[in-house]
Homo-oligomer: A and B are copies of this chain.
Amino acid sequence: MARRSDHTRVEIKAMAVAAGRDLIRDVGYSGFSARKVATAIGYTVGTLYNVFENHDDIVLHINAVTLDDLLSFMEKRFGGSGGADVTQNDHQALKALAACYIDYARENYNCWSALFEHNLAPDMPLPDWYGEKIGALFTLIEARLKPVIGPDEAELRQTARVLWASIHGICALTLTNKLTLVGVETPESLTSSLIENYIAGLTRRLPDT
């Protein structure tokens, strides 16, 4: 049993988040509990509620680490701003980005899934520090989108959101078996269709610089 000043507040927080993520990874969000986390780090559940506001707060901090992990997973494959010459290559880059997200979701199913199985009350906005992590993901996508649709900020914003939400929808419904795919259909083939045609529609009247 840990004693006072064995760890600082921030150390306990970090230990709890790490142990909680391991727990979700192993047993899924439905098997997650604050009491198990407390036991895993050698404290009682009372200490956890001393350091976190409540259950939502704990899950939010765990999911934030998953968002960081997802971002670095994607940056590992898409570090630079890329070549960006012809349209065909831009399509490929966007498809690869979608495939990368799907890979992450598959390889880290329980952690990825917890990102969406947990929701705050609909009138409670996500905390700013959490929203910023989502924003960092969009920055990555907007960078890949810029060579395709141009530098207009508002259009980049909206297009990145449409595209990413759509890719996420395909990924989510597929991995949770809610799309009843058959034969050649895979999440990758569906996102390919999405990207090819959505981008073709977007660039249809633009000069192909």
Chain A residues within CB distance 8 Å of chain B? 28, 109, 113, 116-117, 119-122, 125-126, 131, 134-135, 154, 157-159, 161-162, 165-170, 172-183, 185, 189-190, 193-194, 196-202, 204
Cβ-closest 6 pairs across A and B: A169-B169, A197-B201, A166-B166, A200-B201, A201-B201, A165-B169
Copies in the complex: 2
Interface centre among A109, A116, A162 (most CB of B within 10 A): A162
Contact of A170 among B119, B162, B201 (CB under 8 A): B162
**CB pair A122 B178 closer than 8 Å:** no
- Residues in B neighbouring A202, C-beta threshold 8 A: 197
**CB pair A201 B190 closer than 8 Å:** no
- Roughly how many angstroms separate A198 CA and B195 CA in the complex, as a whole number? 8
- Residues in B neighbouring A181, C-beta threshold 8 A: 161
What are 30 contact pairs spanning A and B, CB under 8 A?
A28-B121, A113-B119, A113-B122, A116-B176, A122-B177, A126-B177, A126-B178, A131-B180, A134-B178, A134-B179, A134-B180, A154-B183, A158-B189, A161-B181, A161-B190, A162-B194, A165-B166, A165-B173, A165-B179, A165-B190, A166-B167, A166-B169, A166-B194, A167-B169, A168-B172, A194-B198, A196-B201, A198-B198, A198-B201, A204-B204
Chain B residue at smallest Cβ distance from A192? B162
